Amino acid sequence: MSDLYRSALMAKLPKLPDEDEEEMDEEEETGDLAPLPSMPPPSSSFSKQKGRVQSRRAPNPEFSPISAAGFFEQAVEVIVPESQLKFRVFYTPPSAPAPGGTIMVLHHGAGYSGLSFAMMAKEITAETGGECGVLALDCRRHGRTTPLNETVSDEDLSVDVLAEDAYNLLCTLFPDPSTTPSLLLVGHSMGGSVLVRTCPMLLTKKYRVTGVAVLDVVEGSAMEALPHMHHLLNSRPDGFNNLEDAIEWHVTNHTIRNPTSARISVPSLFVPSSPDSSQRFVWRTPLRSTAPYWESWFLGLSKSFLEVRTARLLVLAGTDRLDKDLMLGQMMGKFQLVVIPGTGHMIQEDDPSKLAEILIEFWRRNERVIPGVKKVGEL
């Protein structure tokens, strides 16, 4: 365990209770790093379409939840007064003594959680021999991140607020830039837009940022898709009778194409419903409720990405049409573009090994700079 980890986390942040502690409350007992208890039979059947009831059935054991234990070294609760939030953070520190090594900071997309990076994070720490650590967070109104108290609202999901949150969190964990490992910022979809905006704040504070990687989001395509989002969400169930059904829905609808990753990440997307609900589990972050912030997430993303003063990487699931700014930037060599075929929007879950390989290569090229060899995006 590095000195940085001891000083930045253990001294400030309470470790979550061990799985076998008798005093663990019910919420933590069903938490991300503890095996989920067996669920009673569902009270009603799994509905693939809103309002449509199918025949009663038992949960499918092939889609039972998998504990996230073993994918990260720690799960901690981080109190960040500047954001008035208690963040859930999944962390494996780099093996090199501070300020050596690198930490990949992983920010999920809308509706998801830090556990969408679980399998990829394990690949990264294994393939780099621990030299590159990983830190995945649950952003506000997602996963297990909550307001500090009942008087605080966490409703605002505008990109500037989310960027400030990420910045405040990193400053809380690593208050001294001179003793902080270098940071490689990796964001999926909305999370990519957030970290592109966070990067300049970190650089102004003199943190070392190796690069920024944006996963499967292009401003032009995203803005064109926004008017159709409500129609697409109409086929999304309001909830499920058990977590197995929730996982199965994500896999059979190809939302997540890797069943193992879905069994790890999907339970964190749901919370128990109210007693009068027809479903036992409902979405932690209903995507329709985030609609007021969609435009802020993506408007201006391409320009901000190309202007960030560090190495840049864009990873896409398909040959998405680049908008004008990105096309010009690519021709000028301002960023590295990689396409991972055979994956969907959830690249980090669909093919965690391939994405880990790409990110490690990007890190090695830009962290270990050879004199005379420019970083990706340097002119």
Q: How many CB atoms lie within 10 A of CB 367?
A: 18
- Do residues 347 and 355 lie in contact, with contact meaning Cβ atoms separated by under 8 Å? yes
Cα distance between residue 80 and residue 10, in whole Å? 15
**Residues whose CB falls within 8 Å of the CB of residue 327, separated by 6 or more in sequence, listed in order:** none
Q: Which residues are catalytic?
A: 189, 216, 345
Total number of residues shown for the chain:
379
Beta-strand relationship, 239-240 and 146-147: unpaired
Q: Please, what is the angle between helix 352-367 and helix 118-127, to 10°?
A: 50
Cα distance between residue 355 and residue 359, in whole Å? 6
What are the angstrom distances between the C-alpha of 150 and each of 35, 146, 147, 153, 282? Answer: 29, 10, 7, 8, 21
Place of tokens 């590295």: 336
Residue 237 CB-half CA count within 13 A: 24
Q: How many CB atoms lie within 10 A of CB 371?
A: 4
Q: Residue 331 has which token pair?
A: 């021709």
